[in-house]
Amino acid sequence: MAINFNSDRLSSDENHVFYSESIGDDLPIATDVNELINAHANRLNNRYNRLMNYYLGKHSIIRKLAKAKGKPDNRLVINFAKELVDNEVGFFAGTPVKFDYDDNGNENNELDQRIADFVAINDLTDTIAELAKQVDIFGRSYTLLYQDEDSNTRVAPIDPRNAFAVYGTQIGAPIEYAVYYTQRQRNGAISGTLYTKHSVVTFHGSATAGIQYDEVTDNLFTNVPLVEFFASIERQGLFEQVISLIDAVDMAMSNKGNDIDYFSNTIMKVVNAKIKKETVDEMIDKRLINVPSVDADRPVDIDFLNKPDADLIQEHFLDRAIDAIYTKSNVANFNDDVFGNASGTALEFKLQSMSNAANMKERKFKLSIRQLFKLAFAIGATLPLDMTGELAKNVKATFKRTVPHNVQDEATTAKTLLDVVDRKTAISAISTVDDPDAVIKARDEEQRNNANNALATLGDVSDNDFKGGDK
């Protein structure tokens, strides 16, 4: 549901994306920023905290009311949320993302080295993995660019519980301004930083009294240095739509635990017999039951009170619910037996839905990565200066899925492809090759060395070696 603001300048869509009328070269009105912070803290963060709790195993079953004294009350948590996120992140970004400069096939070794330095300084491959995890949990995440004390351009992942972006109201408009803030639990005091295209503004205040601006400095990036990452425009977490199924599995497993406790404490019934406490103690000690009947015409009935057994129904329900969790979240169940002995083709079919979702996520990530590099080029520090954004367009981010491969089959495929495509494309078919250009270069060097060695060997052979008979 969209958030309604008091200010006519602000709006929100049903995906909780904030919008604002253009502020031009000015700062947004402080009351507008305060209203956005309150909406973010009270509406979005409640959702974000719930999603993080599920990822950490703090599910709703833990907070259920306790049962009556003496009744089994298991609270079992089967943390599918964490498993889904960790498996998807490992599949999507477990293999480090590779960054290259590619200008229509034209190599630029100097730019490649500058990009490699930028990636290394910021541990960008790890940052991408962290962003992928936050996107799977919260539905969105952010990166903030800044200059450190050594004038290096740095990139930091930002938890969406501490930041938000405000977009322009026109179609396809970029971020108008962004806010990073923290709020103290004890007294509700707020402090943070506002980023516009031209200024960086610190502020402080509280939710009730509002905020006020403090120091204003120039924004060296000449654009809002916050970049949003998301997997889809709906900004939904990976497991958000299957939370009810996760709760149902937790409840079913807890009830099965309760059943086990019930059978461990089964009540014995004795009908048509009067037993004294001393007799009960003696029966427990000697494990022998011998009691006279009260009514001689009827036999003594000694048995256990049996609860109806619904184990088969529970197991069937659990199988269906667990299968639905994986299916509806588009994550493969790696506990499935098919992953143990299936062929490469069978694995591809099993991972099809997961691969499709990862491909869509990759496209959104590449757009954000391009914006990240555009900002880094615009300041001209770690990366060379480029205000046009053309260099950023040529930075290629290569994602490689982390899946088991049959390298022998891939090598055969690559050998076959050599007859119809260029060497780089053919070698790229082998999953163990991270840098096809380096492999081609090494292969050519090896062939040159072998040729030179062969020529050198022939040069050492004297003419006498080719003469027959005695000298």
Break the chain into its structural domains and give their ranges.
Answer: 405-459
The whole-angstrom separation of Cα 35 and Cα 42 is: 11
Q: What is the pLDDT of residue 471?
A: 45
Angle at 41 between CA 14 and CA 138, to 5 degrees: 60
User: 118-122, long-range: CB within 8 Å, 24+ apart, which pairs?
Assistant: 118/153, 118/376, 118/382, 118/383, 121/152, 121/153, 121/154, 121/382, 122/153, 122/154, 122/155
Q: What is the pLDDT of residue 229?
A: 98
Provide φ and ψ at 154, rounded to 5°: -110, 155
Q: Across the beta sheet with 199-206, what order do the strands follow?
A: 10-12, 18-20, 163-168, 175-183, 189-195, 199-206, 210-218
Q: What is the pLDDT of residues 57-100, one digit of tens each?
A: 999 999 998 887 878 889 999 999 999 999 999 999 999 999 99
Q: What is the pLDDT of residue 294?
A: 74
- Is the model's pLDDT at 462 over the cut of 60? no
Q: What is the pLDDT of residue 287?
A: 66
Q: What is the pLDDT of residue 94?
A: 92
Q: To the nearest 10°, the Cα dihedral for 331, 334, 336, 338? A: 100
pLDDT band at 195 (very low <50, low <70, confident <90, very high): very high
Q: What is the pLDDT of residue 433?
A: 82
pTM metric for this prediction: 0.82
Q: What is the pLDDT of residues 213-254, one digit of tens each?
A: 999 999 999 999 999 999 999 999 999 999 999 999 999 999
Q: What is the pLDDT of residue 344?
A: 63
- Is the model's pLDDT at 397 over the cut of 60? yes
Q: Give mean pLDDT, residues 404-424.
A: 83
Which element (helix H / strand E) includes 128? Answer: helix 124-138
Q: What is the pLDDT of residues 304-328, one digit of tens each?
A: 766 666 778 889 999 999 999 999 9
- Is the model's pLDDT at 140 over the cut of 90? yes
The whole-angstrom separation of Cα 386 and Cα 108 is: 15
**Number of CB atoms found within 10 A of residue 183's CB:** 18
Instruction: Point out the least confidently predicted range of 11-15, 168-172, 272-276, 424-428.
Output: 272-276
Could you give the C-alpha distances from 74 to 57, 194, 255, 263, in angstroms and in order? Answer: 15, 47, 7, 14
